[in-house]
A = this chain, B = another copy of it.
Amino acid sequence: MASRSLAVFGFGNVGRVLCEQAVAVGCAVPVIADSSAAIVKKSGLTREDLETLSAAKASGTRLADAVSSVAEATVATPTEAVNFMATLPGKPGLADVSANANAANEYLLDALKLKLPISLANKKPLSEDLASFQSLTADKSLIGYEATVGAGLPVICTLQRMIDSGDRVTHVEGQLSGTLGYILSALQAGGKFSEIVREAKAQGFTEPDPRDDLSGTDVARKALILARTMGENISMDQITVEALFPESFASLPLDEFMDRLPEMDADIEAKVQEAASKGEMLRYAAVVEPGQPINVGLVSVKPGAPLASLQGTDNLVSFESAFYNTSPTVVRGPGAGLEVTAAGVLADYLLLTR
Contact = CB atoms under 8 A, between A and B. Distances in A.
Interface of A: 21, 24-25, 140-141, 146, 152-154, 157-158, 161-162, 164-167, 304, 306, 309, 311-314, 322-324, 326-334, 337, 339-340, 342-344, 346-347, 350-351, 354
A330 B141 CA distance: 27
Contact of A334 (B141, B304, B327, B332): B327
Given A25-B166, A323-B339, 6 more contacts: A152-B324, A154-B157, A161-B343, A165-B344, A304-B311, A330-B330
B343 A154 contact: no
10 contacts: A25-B164, A152-B162, A153-B329, A154-B158, A166-B343, A312-B327, A314-B327, A323-B340, A330-B330, A330-B333
A82 to B, nearest CB: 23
A154 B161 contact: yes
Nearest to A153: B329
Contact of A331 (B323, B330, B346): B330
What number of copies of this chain does the assembly contain? 2
A128 B127 CA distance: 47
B165 A350 contact: yes
A161 B327 contact: no
Contacts of A157: 154, 157, 161
B330 A152 contact: no
B343 A334 contact: no
Contact of A21 (B166, B309, B312, B343): B166
A333 B323 contact: no
A158 B304 CA distance: 25
A230 to B, nearest CB: 15
Nearest to A350: B164
A21 to B, nearest CB: 5
A315 B24 CA distance: 33
A324 B329 contact: no
Contacts of A328: 333
Contact of A164 (B309, B330, B351): B351
Query: What 9 A-B pairs are tightest by C-beta distance, nearest first?
Result: A329-B333, A165-B343, A161-B347, A323-B339, A165-B347, A25-B166, A330-B332, A165-B346, A154-B158
A261 to B, nearest CB: 27
Contacts of A339: 167, 322-323
Contacts of A333: 324, 327-330
A146 B158 CA distance: 11
A77 to B, nearest CB: 29
Contacts of A24: 166
A141 B91 CA distance: 14
A343 B337 CA distance: 32
A168 B165 CA distance: 30
